[in-house]
Structure 1
Amino acid sequence: MLDVFRGLKNLIKVNYVHIDSPVFRLHYSITVILLISFSLIVTTRQYVGNPIDCIHTKDIPEDVLNTYCWIHSTYTLKSFFNKKVGVEVPYPGIGNSREKGREDMSDRKIYKYYQWVCFCLFFQAMLFYAPRWLWKSWEGGKIRALMMDLDVGVCTEIEKKTKKKLILDYLWENLRYHNWWAYRYYLCEGLALVNVIGQMFLMNRFFDGEFMAFGLNVIEYMESDQEDRVDPMIYVFPRMVKCTLFNKFGSSGEVERHDALCILPLNVVNEKIYVFLWFWFVILGLLTFITLLYRLVIIFSPRMRVYMMRMRFRLVRRDNVDTIVRRSKMGDWYLLYILGENLDSVIFRDIMHEFANKLNHNYQHHIHGVPDA
């Protein structure tokens, strides 16, 4: 099984330069790895068995019938899910569709999704990585360039002083010009939230409207009397289905109609995958929504920026934080916050101290340089 996932090792690289939030990293790291892993699992027959096995007659070769039923879809009968298994029906959703004298096509629940699960999971993984790709192209390596290996404080004093001066010069020369840079990152976080919500609707369409409440139905079923309810996992991911009719010519030239009873071993895996994804997407969506609310507070509340900077970087003096937040814009604050998460804490403290002094000196010079009215 480990051989299947060796190709994913490049996605699990630990990046020591953080240019985004932990919640945003959940979208393009863990979620992408999970989706690609699930896509690989459902395509490995040696671990999940044949995707479909049908009970066949001697007139039709086994491989032909299995392939036909896999390609043309299968179905169950909705009215047979509520009947007692072993007495009225052999399995939920399985029974004689002509017992009332005619075949009711509206009673059929058609299953076609199983052919596309692996492709859909891989496509979802690409969608989750898209906001990360967009932010990397917009960020352009700015944080890595500003770090200059100062994430480790072990270097000569001359080198340290030179690098700190370069950072201070950049911050001073580009003061108040980082708002658009920060807003583009916030836009990527917004796209990540839109993606999670959109994927819930995508999977709901994929499963014919059964996915949106799938997790809630599973919880409700587990807490209720199971004899009185239909198992939502069997309803959406049946293990036993009926095959669409297979027509062939008989020995006398008449068209003979054959139907088959098929087992879908892959659905035992599919149901676990999508139960997990339902809860994971809900949790991820809530965390991302809370993060965006936090971003709105940061944009409109300088006091919150001061509080967050003080809580995160306790070595930095309070008056320095107050000065920087008061005399810079939100984008400058976000750039400093990200830099602080990547630089050595002592070096970052010194940079903040010198930057605050420079802002104070410029402010005092500006005040005294203005003639009295």
Structure 2
Amino acid sequence: MKCWVPAQFTGAWEKYAETYCFIKGSYFLPDDEHPNEDFIERDNAVIGYYQWVPLMLALQAFLFYAPCLIWKALNCSTGINVKDVLENTAKVKKNVTVKERENQVFKAAVHLQEALELQRELKSEAGVYSKMRKSGFYLSSVYVFTKFLYVLNIIVQFCIFSAFLGTNNAFWGWDIFTDIWSGREWNVTGHFPRVTMCDFTVRVLGALHRWTVQCVLMINMFTEKIYVFLWFWFILVGVLSVISLLYWVVALVGGNFQRGFVMKYLRCMGEVSDEPTRTEEEKVGGFVRNYLTSDGVFLLRLIQAARGWELGEICATQIDSSDWGFGMLLERAKVVTSHVAFSK
């Protein structure tokens, strides 16, 4: 901050005025208006956000990371190491030989199998929370809850914007953008002003002297661009977060969607016919309910999303390359637990 001070100010006085005004804050006064004689009203109009921009940006960045921390903390108590499963399946494509790919898929399948079996074995464990963790839908519920936290975070971010910048207009980012586009500068709109006024008092020989100086806020040139960009970015992130939340709710709550997801891969593997019979549908439904559960389907969807496995690619390549790994993962789970689900 640099201020235009009276001629009688020495260098020390000028530095004091600039430091004081930066800490206390300043207020915007349009060129065609005169200062209000009411100093209390001036103080109420003080712009005090520019001093805290770095700290506020750090806080907002942490809020974006907070749902991830919550997910990691809750995931540790599920008994399923999601990271390990995804890392093992990620190694499938890196291995050249069929034997190496088979070993990696076997590791991922074994971990998934053991984790799901552990959930079933500990269902009788005492405690409401413990039973919920072993219910077969705890992991998927935690993931959906994390998705909800990301949506909630966006709402909180916009509330922080409004409170921090002192505006009640939720569409301030769009308004500033349209003002810039139409050529209306900050000296007319008052958005992120570059030139402000500052009042301060100095005690000289026991008497208080009030001074009003004009200051330049160079930092607001960058602050405006940063916050307008963040406003549009948060809008995009918010829309994508809502879409992602709705997708996972439908994918993990709807039993038909879970069965259909598994069915299409079993169909390509030749385990069910192209036009599944009622018996086959019941068997697959039992497989999903009794073995995979919602958590198992959730893990398979994560593997599909992480590896980019698509049904068309599987059919086109006859379950080859990296897609072959996904098919083997389902095959491993199906064969090991056929006496649990398919026999019913």
TM-score (norm 2): 0.72
Tell me, what secondary structure is at the counterpart of 1:259?
Answer: strand
Amino acid aligned to 1:130: A
Tell me, what secondary structure is at the counterpart of 2:45?
Answer: strand
Is 1:69 equivalent to 2:13 in the alignment? no
> Hey, what does 1:247 align to over in structure 2?
202
Tell me, what secondary structure is at the counterpart of 1:111?
Answer: coil
Q: Which residues of structure 2 form unaligned runs of 5+?
A: 121-133, 274-279, 308-321
> Hey, what does 1:170 align to over in structure 2?
114
Is 1:283 equivalent to 2:236 in the alignment? yes
| Correspondence for 2:84 among 145, 166, 174 | 145
Q: Distance in 2 between matches of 1:187 and 1:356?
A: 29
Q: 1:268 to 1:364 in 2, by over 3 A?
A: closer
Q: 1:212 to 1:122 in 2, by over 3 A?
A: same
1:121-152 Cα deviation digits (max 9, x unpaired): 11111111111111122223702334574433
Amino acid aligned to 1:300: V
Task: Using the TM superposition, give the Cα deviation of residue 245 of structure 1 relative to its aligned residue in structure 2, in angstroms.
Answer: 2.9
Q: Distance in 2 between matches of 1:316 and 1:198?
A: 46
> Hey, what does 2:299 align to over in structure 1?
335
> Hey, what does 2:191 align to over in structure 1?
236
Task: Using the TM superposition, give the Cα deviation of residue 285 of structure 1 relative to its aligned residue in structure 2, in angstroms.
Answer: 1.3
Q: Distance in 2 between matches of 1:116 and 1:272?
A: 16
Q: 1:314 to 1:256 in 2, by over 3 A?
A: farther
* Structure 1 contact 218–232 (Cα < 8 Å) conserved: no
Q: Distance in 2 between matches of 1:189 and 1:329?
A: 20
> Hey, what does 2:317 align to over in structure 1?
none
Q: Distance in 1 between matches of 2:215 and 2:331?
A: 72
Quick one: percent identity of the two aligned structures?
24
Tell me, what secondary structure is at the counterpart of 1:59?
Answer: coil
Is 1:115 equivalent to 2:51 in the alignment? yes
* Structure 2 contact 109–332 (Cα < 8 Å) conserved: no
* Structure 1 contact 186–295 (Cα < 8 Å) conserved: yes
| Correspondence for 2:323 among 315, 340, 345 | 345
* Structure 2 contact 200–211 (Cα < 8 Å) conserved: yes
Q: Distance in 2 between matches of 1:200 and 1:177?
A: 36
Q: Distance in 2 between matches of 1:333 and 1:129?
A: 26
TM-score (norm 1): 0.67
Deviates more, 1:67-76 or 1:353-362: 353-362
* Structure 2 contact 3–214 (Cα < 8 Å) conserved: yes
1:276-326 Cα deviation digits (max 9, x unpaired): 111111111121112222222123322333555678999656849962445
Q: 1:232 to 1:255 in 2, by over 3 A?
A: closer
1:25-72 Cα deviation digits (max 9, x unpaired): xxxxxxxxxxxxxxxxxxxxxxxxxxx110112325221111011111
Tell me, what secondary structure is at the counterpart of 2:107?
Answer: helix
| Correspondence for 2:69 among 133, 143, 155 | 133
Amino acid aligned to 1:118: P
Q: Which residues of structure 1 form unaligned runs of 5+?
A: 1-51, 90-94, 368-373
How many residues of Structure 1 are paired with residues of Structure 2 in the alignment? 293
Q: Distance in 1 between matches of 2:228 and 2:105?
A: 54
Deviates more, 1:302-311 or 1:254-263: 302-311
Q: Distance in 2 between matches of 1:124 and 1:113?
A: 14
CA RMSD in angstroms, aligned pairs only: 3.5
Q: 1:308 to 1:221 in 2, by over 3 A?
A: farther
> Hey, what does 1:54 align to over in structure 2?
3
